[in-house]
Structure 1
Amino acid sequence: MEIRTNTSQLANFLQVCIDKKSHINGKLLHAHILRTGLFADIFLSNRLIELYHKCGRLRTARRVFDKMPHRNLFSWNAMLSAHCKTGDIEEAHKLFVKMPERNDVSWNTLISALVRGGLEQKALNIYYDMNQEGFLPTNFTLASVFSACGALFDLQYGRVSHGFANKIGLDKNIYVGNALLGMYAKCGHVEDAIKAFEDLPEVNEVSFTAIMGVLGDIDRVEEAFDMFRSMCRIGIQIDAISLSSILGVCARNGFNDLGSSVNGQQLHGLTIRLGLEKDLHLSNSLLDMYAKCGDMNSAEMIFDNLLEVSVVSWNVMIGGYGQRYQIKKAIEFMQKMQRFGFEPDEVTYINMLTACLKSGDTETAHEVFNKMASPSLSSWNALLSGYSQIGKHKEALWLFINMQFCNVKGDKTTFAIICSSCASLGLLKGGRQVHAASLKNLFDDDIYVASGLIGMYSKCSKIEVAKCIFDRIKDQDDIVCWNSMIAGLSINNLDLESFVLFKNMLENNMLPTQFSYATVLSSCAKLSSISQGRQMHAQALKDEIINDVVVGSALIDMYSKCGYVDEARLFFEKMPVRNTITWNEMIHGYAQNGHGSEGVALFEEMINQSGEKPDAVTFIAVLTACSHSGLVDYGIMIFNSMQIKHGVEPISDHYACLIDSLGRAGRFSEIEDILDTMPYSNDPILWEVLLSSCRVHLNASLAKRAADELFRMNPCNSAPYVLLANMYSFMGKWDDARNIRELMIEKQLVKGPGHSWFEHKDGS
């Protein structure tokens, strides 16, 4: 009886030590237990394990466990939990294997620890064994399993586990439901994630935070804000995490949306009202929101008032200035960061690289890259991506080659980027080598790598190879490769096949993107197929993408190229949003359909009323309109205003339009003045335009000059020979005509046959 009382008292004393994490007093009790021979008491020994674990003495806890003469299930679970909570996963697993018996706690403890430790596949294997041995998972087990499936993008196993959760009635549990929502979101199945949220019998701040992030990721911004408003309305506590999540939605929407900036300011006000402005993570989210909305003044104000600054805070500011092409400010902040004792991390360097490359400053980008002691793969990829995005594809290729010399093994992102650069350069040999390397590294099944390969082979006129790659893709549920294949067919003038593939995509329940529509509408335009174009118009209405400015611009181009310029204008007037491209398409539509005056009038409306800034393409369109309408002097005036008034440097296409306009009017002396001063004398199109005008007006001397220039640039081109010979024949200069034809025979030049295209009334 005395021993029992002593044991009970010791257990109580140990519990006090555990609660207060009193290591010294616990050691004294441990010594007393050993001295009085009570160590054999399993209950007391278990308490000692718990004490040492809570006091951060894992080795001592393990020594107690190893020396115990007798152990029960609680002893094993206590030691297992100690290893798991201190992150010693390997030892925890070894201990788990040795356990003479296990219960739900044993399985759940190990599975949760494996997921936390990033060993998701191992966690799923243990979960499978758990099911095989007949143990039912708890809500915590299933939450860990769904988290593992999300991290591994293992949708199939996630769905199986979802079914099992339904079967045992845990699908409505808040922890399981939130984890299920997260799993579907990470696997890219947004509608399933939304359904998981809607099926929850009760929701908490975790549920709302997760669903807001999901909706923000797919640009359903207003719905994300509606969720936040609902959260406020039903009285769920707004904390720093939920505010950070909705601020992230504002940040992702960026400075192209005024509404995001306004919503962000309101959320900033709410942050202050709730007294959360001192939370560092939330402050960084506010910084990020303002930076991505382009409001760097507000971002600087928050940064200057931060009670605590982290490397993340500096990185956000550097990235924000880089996004705004303010490279000097980005460099200034990086220098300040180092002066204040903060070491730049990988994100800092990547933000600086991106900032330099966006500004076109490749020299500074290289300096930043070379300062990195050991650039990570992400840094290599950032530089590769930057070069590719600004059109410096040769530099991207050299960088990729340098990666090989530095023994840096590329990943899927690397191969996707370099495929794109090979495609842009039309570099078939290099593209094949990249393809071989992707096969060797087992990356060819990745949708982005496959998409890049399809694009590369398509642009190198190897469309059959592109088709083979597309047909072999295992996961054809992703729109990326479909878009690449549709574009590839269109590039190779297989526009009917492009249209058919688009219809196949719809039959496979794929939702087309704006790029899908823009590509297939371009194919319809090239086919001059108004019936197919109208089908696409109807489909865009059905898919509720008709108001997208890219799709709308493509529709205007399609109607114009099919000769239905009035329908193009009708649609143009109904568009809720227009950009410079939209105006360009409509002006050009008028020009190519012989309605030059309307095109000029629209140009005037654009520069005087719309607020849109004309670019180089705008001037090509309006100069073409002037040429087709005989508005020569007005065209000259517009040409002269390009650089002075609008800051657009004339290129060879603008000179070609001006020469065409003057040539149609027979004003050849002015053309000769332009020819003597223009910087593009080696552009064959200019001389072809001039030769065509000379033929119409029978200007033999200038025609001879144009033809000589074309002979010099390309002796194998038959067009100037044919045009010059026909003009001589028409003028009765038979000897000159005969000389030209003999020259063609001598050079073995053959005139290509003419052809025309029309659409039959049945649509074929």
Structure 2
Amino acid sequence: MSSSVGISFPLTIKLPETPSSTGTSSQIKLKPQEISISSSYPVTSLTELLRDAADKNSLQKTKSIHGIVTKSHFTSKSLTLLLNQMVIAYSKTSDFGSARQVFDEIPHKSVFSWTVLIVGATENGFHRDGFGYFVEMLCCGVSPDEYALSAAAQACTCCLDGVTLCEMVHAQVVIRGFSSLTFVNTSLLSVYAKLGRVGDSRKVFSSMESRNEVSWNAMISGFVSNGFYSEAYVSFSRMLEEGIRPNVPCFISVSKAIGKLGDAEKGRYITRVALEMGVQPNIHVGTALIDMFAKCGCLTEARSVFESSFSGCGGVNLPWNALLSGYTSSREGEEAVLLFLRMCRNDVKRDVYTYCSALNSIADMKSLEYVKQVHGMIVKGGGETTGVMSLFNALMDAYAKCGELGAMRKLFDVTREEANQISWTTLVTAYSQSSEWEEEALSVFSQMRETGFQPNQITFSSVLASCASLCFLEYGQQVHSLTLKTGFATDKCVESALIDMYAKCGSVRDAIKVFESLKDPDVVSWTAMISGYAQHGMAKDALRLFRKMEELVFPKPNSVTFLCLLFACSHGGLVDEGLRCFHLMEDKYGLVPEIEHYACVVDILGRVGRLSEAWEFITKMPIEPDVKVWSTLLGACRVHGDIQLAKIAARKVVCYNPEDSAALVLLSNAYREAGNVEAELSVRNVMNSQAMRKEPGLSWITIGGQIHKFCSGDQHHPQKDDIYRVLNDLMEKIKSKKH
């Protein structure tokens, strides 16, 4: 009797049918647990038991059957058949060492024997060994068949010199006359694609005399995995034209390609094809279509696919997760939360991916209550979510974005033993984005390195941002050196963070050095350098750099670039240039000005005393002026003594924020500078009656790597007694000098 071998292979590896046995013809059906060493069994029954052990991934059963075979006596042919199947079983149960030992015991090693060994090595990750067995087979004088050649090709995929090895196998295919076989060529083109040799893959595909759906899918999948998304779609269309019916993996591959292209029209066409062929209700195809539409920005159509086929599907969560992820990626937080709640009501299985997507949306919404509820679900649920660090990382991030850094730190401390690089980076990033915890970001960064974790580009960017905010140049220089040693200095986000850090720490010369060393600066790096010039009052240098940027095809300036330019013009008194930049952003680049841009224009006009023009500009704004705009005008009115306009601006500011003391302080100062003491006292009385206090300014200094903060009348510094004693001594010396 002939039967197929019970082993699966990556994509196109195939094995010939197991050679038939000459054992007893009677079929004794035994369950694996009924094995008894004292009994003798037909070869066919033991073969079936080995297949069953392989299918169930049972190493113990495989060893039991091995024991029976060892203690029994079989003909050479029957023993070869059994040991071949045993090699497969051991390989399937991830005990390749035993599989290799069994192979050595095979009395007559056929091409089938060598093939199962090659496949076993490849499936267990020993790709180089798998190719080595192919070479050894040739040296033993065994001629490879099509199955052995396919297996040898697959063994090349993860070898450093895989391309050379695959070309050797390809040569054997041609020399031995197998180049006309479809599945052999399919194996070759698949391996070439996995090795990044899409051109060679395409050549093999074009040379094929006949192609089936597996061949087409291998080519389409190869295009997708190498980023040739348009070619993948074109191949899918050609496949349909040639009358080949796409299989499920093919629909999944082409859906991924269209999602990457972001072409909704192509997505609609693929969906129609899937409907016509009746495969849209397939869980995997439907999930791929939902993900495709979500990536194309067509959430309504993604929802339509979901509702038409999977909304009542409570057993499988793949379509639910795809739609939830789509809402999260598109920042549709409310829709994501509603879908998550619906999953809970319908008792749809929730896994790590579900919770991470939901938490990301909730974090963007800054809904602390929802974060706590999801946290409670995770704790109560246990099971698959217990100990999954990616889930705790998402929880930490959600707490951080909701401003609960204490809860974030508690969660980190509880899971610290399992913490990974992302956990530490989440902690550093959260602290670096909070003005009250920036020092802690530097401390955690040091602890991270002491624990043995390597910072990544996000970690470096975050700690550099903290150095910039704290004007901690020395620490920033040390971090810069570390980025050079670890190879992250050339990462785009690190490059821009370095420029920003040096500029904000007062070393604009070092910022320029970093910028000029960049091979291909992106828009963020250009903007960071323009911002650096602006911060140091180097408005003409900022404009010069912008003009240089304008000469390039790519990158194009964005709204932040123009904000930095307007800031530079404002502080440099360059009114005409500033107004030109404001109009340029919409006229040339199609960027719609935001409220911050309007506030900058008001500042540009207000600084040079053109208050009537600033007022007219505000009244003609296409969007409602906010507190930033009115506060800017109020500051300009104080400087230039326009009391009437100052009163209007102050009232507007207080309307937006009744507890804002800064506006009333500015108005009070404007009255005082205009000599209207009575009006000044009136404003001060209003502030006192409402218990308003001006926020004190802070100064800080770094000594020995530690940051010391001060404010007027400070009584909280641990060394305040020594500090005030020195201040008093200095004041006495100053007084004595005056006399």
Relative to the length of structure 1, the TM-score reads 0.74
1:414-460 CA-partner distances (Å, limit 9, x unpaired) = 11222222222221111111111111222252111110111122222
Among candidates 310, 318, 341, match of residue 378 of structure 1: 318
Secondary structure, counterpart of 1:305 in structure 2: helix
- The change in CA–CA distance for 1:75 and 1:622 in structure 2 (over 3 A counts) is same
What is residue 404 of structure 2 aligned with on the other side? 462
Alpha-carbon distance in structure 1 between the residues aligned to 2:396 and 2:103: 40
**Structure 1 residues 515 and 20 mapped into 2: Cα distance closer, same or farther (>3 Å)?**
closer
Query: 1:79-90 alignment to 2 at 5 Å?
Result: 79-85=45-51
Partner amino acid for 1:450?
F
Q: Corresponding residue for 2:359?
A: 419
SS at match of 1:102: helix
Q: How does 1:155-194 map to 2 (within 5 A)?
A: 178=122, 181=125
Please report how far the alpha carbon of residue 464 of structure 1 lies from its aligned counterpart in structure 2 after TM superposition.
2.6
2:432 paired with 1:490:
yes
Q: Determine if the alignment matches structure 1 residue 507 to structure 2 residue 442.
A: no
Query: Contact (CA 8 Å) 1:698, 1:727: kept in 2 or not?
Result: yes
How many residue pairs end up in the alignment?
Answer: 635
Q: RCO higher in 1 or 2 (8 Å CA, sep ≥ 6)?
A: 2
445-454 or 75-84, larger mean C-alpha shift = 75-84
Indicate if the aligned counterparts of 1:435 and 1:444 stay in contact, CA closer than 8 A.
no
Question: 2: distance between equivalents of 1:100 and 1:20?
Answer: 21
Asked if 1:471 corresponds to 2:413, the answer is yes
Partner Cα distance (1:755, 1:411) in 2: 47
Given the alignment, which residue of 315, 325, 330 partners 2:267? 330
Structure 2 partner of 1:47: 24
Residue 247 of structure 1 pairs with residue 193 of structure 2: yes
Corresponding residue of 2:699:
756
What secondary structure is seen at the aligned counterpart in 1 of 2:695? Answer: coil
Give the Cα–Cα distance (whole angstroms) in 1 for the partners of residues 101 and 453 of structure 2: 36
**Paired position in structure 1 for 2:339:** 399
Cα gap change, 1:515 to 1:698, in 2 (>3 Å) = same
Deviation at 1:492? Answer: 3.0
- Partners of 1:198 and 1:91 lie apart in 2 by 23
- Mapped contact 2:631–2:663 kept (Cα < 8 A): yes
Map of 1:232 onto structure 2: 167
Secondary structure of 1:75 counterpart: coil
Could you say which residue in structure 1 is the equivalent of 2:113?
Answer: none
**Quick one: structure 1 residues 208 and 313, their matched pair in 2 at CA, closer, same or farther if it must change by over 3 Å?**
closer
CA distance in 2, matches of 1:294, 1:98: 48
Task: Please say which of residues 340-349 and 689-698 is displaced more in the overlay.
Answer: 340-349
State the 1:270 CA deviation. 4.7
Aligned residue for 2:25, secondary structure, equals helix
Give the structure 2 partner of residue 354 of structure 1. 291
Which residue in 1 is equivalent to 2:231? 298
Which position in structure 1 is the counterpart of 2:276? 339
- 1:238-276 Cα offsets, whole Å, 9 max, x none, are 8644642452465xxxxxxxxxxxx53354235435x48
Q: Is 1:62 equivalent to 2:62 in the alignment?
A: no
Deviation at 1:654, TM superposition (A): 1.0
Distance 2:37 2:483 in 1: 70
Distance 1:228 1:427, change over 3 A: same
Q: Please state how far the C-alpha of 1:748 moved relative to its aligned partner.
A: 1.0
Deviation at 1:648, TM superposition (A): 0.9
Tell me the secondary structure at the aligned position of residue 41 of structure 2.
Answer: helix
Matches within 5 A, 1:17-36: 18=1
Query: Secondary structure of the residue that 1:693 maps to in structure 2?
Result: helix
- Paired residues of 1:719 and 1:751 also in contact (CA < 8 A): yes
Q: Quick check: 1:322–1:351 contact (8 Å CA) kept in 2?
A: no
Q: Is 2:490 aligned against 1:547?
A: yes
What residue in structure 2 maps to residue 193 of structure 1?
none
- In the other structure, the counterpart of 2:509 is 566
Distance in 2, matches of 1:728 and 1:368, equals 65
Classify 1:532/1:249 alpha carbon distance in 2 versus 1 (closer, same or farther; 3 Å). farther
After superposition, the Cα gap between the structure-2 partners of 1:313 and 1:65, relative to the gap in structure 1 and judged at 3 Å, is closer
For residue 590 of structure 1, what is the aligned residue in structure 2? 533
Deviates more, 1:94-103 or 1:75-84: 94-103
Are residue 633 (structure 1) and residue 576 (structure 2) matched? yes
Which residue number in structure 1 is paired with residue 142 of structure 2?
A: none
Q: CA deviation at 1:607?
A: 2.0
Between the aligned residues of both structures, percent identity stands at 26
Q: Which runs of 5+ in 1 are unaligned?
A: 1-17, 22-43, 50-59, 117-122, 144-172, 183-195, 216-223, 251-262
Deviation at 1:732, TM superposition (A): 0.7
Aligned counterpart, 2:329:
389
Output the amino acid matched with 1:247: A
Q: Give runs of aligned pairs for residues 189-228 of structure 1, distance below 5 A.
A: 209=154, 212=157, 227-228=162-163
Does the aligned pair in 1 maintain the 2:476–2:501 contact within 8 Å? Answer: yes
Look up the match of 1:445.
387
Partner of 2:729: none
Unmatched tracts of structure 2, length 5 or more: 5-20, 71-78, 105-116, 136-149, 174-183, 708-739
Shift of 1:722: 0.7
CA distance, structure 2, for counterparts of residue 727 and residue 211 of structure 1: 79
Change (3 A) 1:759 1:206: farther
SS in 2 for 1:48: coil
